[in-house]
């Protein structure tokens, strides 16, 4: 999904910067783009590390500030334990959003990739849970979340849903500060997408995910990375200049069908 976003956003700024925890993955992405005529620079960063966001912000500052951000970094339930998922998906994202504020240009925009799981998980959330999700950088946030919510937060699937709900709420909370700088920030919640991560989740949770696909009005199928990337590119463009502080579901219509919307 990140590579698809890079392709879609190649014309949004003078410099295209790719970031990932894997140097191997970054080099493969850089070469793929180069073969298509798009030059990119790379930066190996783990946003779950305390200084990761600051390091990335420094790179952005050196390039003259932020034009657009497609934040696709994240772990799914099959990729790690609950704590790691929470730290990567929400803690790292919160650090990044805060670190980039001084680097905002007028007209810049950010799209945080959340998940339909965050919307579905809203039914299990409470004001107390949301209060912890809204302050993920506070000391002991994950431990307090597990003490409060039990398996809902302590198991990978629950931690994933809550972390993505937190990401949706982060975009809402950050919008005023970004707006003061003449910038915008939103979250985008995909449904089931045909990526390596999506296929791993489908293999691990075939019955549950097939049930979601069966209720997907757009063809009963997985989405394609390019279908997410095209929306990201739109949200980062001037055509979306009045869209900020909101989550957009790009799920083929499945979320509300599963949730039983009227």
Average pLDDT taken over every residue of the chain? 94
Question: What percentage of the chain reaches a pLDDT higher than 90?
Answer: 91
The CATH number given to whatever domain includes residue 201 is 3.40.50.720
- Answer whether residue 261 shows pLDDT above 70: no
Query: For residues 40 and 63, is the Cβ–Cβ distance under 8 A?
Result: no
Query: For residues 183 and 104, is the Cβ–Cβ distance under 8 A?
Result: yes
pLDDT in tens, 125-181: 899 999 999 999 999 999 999 999 998 999 999 999 999 999 999 999 999 999 999
Q: Cβ of 48: how many Cβ atoms within 10 Å?
A: 23
Q: Please state the pTM of the whole predicted model.
A: 0.95
Give the count of domains, the chain: 1
Using CA atoms, how far apart are residues 49 and 47, in angstroms rounded to an integer?
A: 5
Write down the pLDDT at residue 123: 81
């Amino acid at each position: 999904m990140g590579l698809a976003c890079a392709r879609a956003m190649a014309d949004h700024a003078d410099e295209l910067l790719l970031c990932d925890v894997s140097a191997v993955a970054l080099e493969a992405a850089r070469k793929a783009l180069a073969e298509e005529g798009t030059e990119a620079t790379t930066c190996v960063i783990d946003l779950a590390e305390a200084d990761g966001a600051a390091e990335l912000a420094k790179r952005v500052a050196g390039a003259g500030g932020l034009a657009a951000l497609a934040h696709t970094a994240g772990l799914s339930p099959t990729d790690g334990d609950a704590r790691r998922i929470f730290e990567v998906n929400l803690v790292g994202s919160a650090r990044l959003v805060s670190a980039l504020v001084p680097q905002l240009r007028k007209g810049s925009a950010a799209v945080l990739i959340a998940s339909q799981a965050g919307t579905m998980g809203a039914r299990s959330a409470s004001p107390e849970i949301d209060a912890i999700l809204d302050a993920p950088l506070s000391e002991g946030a994950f431990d307090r979340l597990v003490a409060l919510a039990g398996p809902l937060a302590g198991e990978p699937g629950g931690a994933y849903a809550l972390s993505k709900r937190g990401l949706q709420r982060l975009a809402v909370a950050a919008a005023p500060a970004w707006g003061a700088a003449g910038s915008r920030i939103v979250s985008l919640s995909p449904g089931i997408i045909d990526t390596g991560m999506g296929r791993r989740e489908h293999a691990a949770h075939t019955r549950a995910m097939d049930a979601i696909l069966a209720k997907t009005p757009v063809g009963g199928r997985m989405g394609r990375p390019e279908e997410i990337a095209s929306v990201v590119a739109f949200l980062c463009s001037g055509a979306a200049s009045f869209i900020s502080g909101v989550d957009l579901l790009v799920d083929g219509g499945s979320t509300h069908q599963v949730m039983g919307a009227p």
